[in-house]
Amino acid sequence: MVNVDLGRRTGEFTYTTGAVALGIGATVPVAIDVTADALFVCTKRSQTTLDTNDAVIAAPEGPNNAADRILVSCRLSDSNKSVVDENNPIPLSSFAGTGQLPYILPTPLPIEPSSKIFVTLTNLSGAIRRVRLSFHGIKLYSPELYDKGVLASIG
């Protein structure tokens, strides 16, 4: 681990999809624009599943979990890397945990400035849902930090 004083060259940040409307059986692609001002290092993902009245749907364990009936795939434009393969989507709660208990990435995921995060959501729940998906992490504003092993020290 490299010990680097990050000082004012970093900042906490969250990119979000906003509330994505998912009809019954619908598949909806969403693109999130990563700003040009900094490298974004994603460390966590979270989601909130809402009903048609924007009420948060509680996440019970087991097959009745609304988030487990919504599938997700994810790809990054900067590397064309699949985070979750489009041909093998996974349950939303496996990808992003919940609003109260986010999914913590085992390794920080760097996403280049001016790139896009492409997410595809598929609703298998049998009810209309709205989903907010968030990518949490930090922005590295200073390019020299990229080469000092900073990514290895974050997590």
Residue type, 2: V
pTM of the full predicted structure? 0.83
Phi-psi region of 9 (alpha: psi -120 to 50; beta: other; left: phi over 0): alpha
pLDDT, position 3: 43
Q: List domains and CATH numbers for the chain.
A: 16-153 (2.60.120)
Name the CA radius of gyration of the chain, rounded: 16
Q: What is the structure's pLDDT at 64?
A: 54
Mean pLDDT by 10 residues, the chain (155 residues): 50 92 95 92 92 74 64 90 89 87 93 94 91 93 60 52
Residue 116 pairs with which residues in a beta bridge?
33
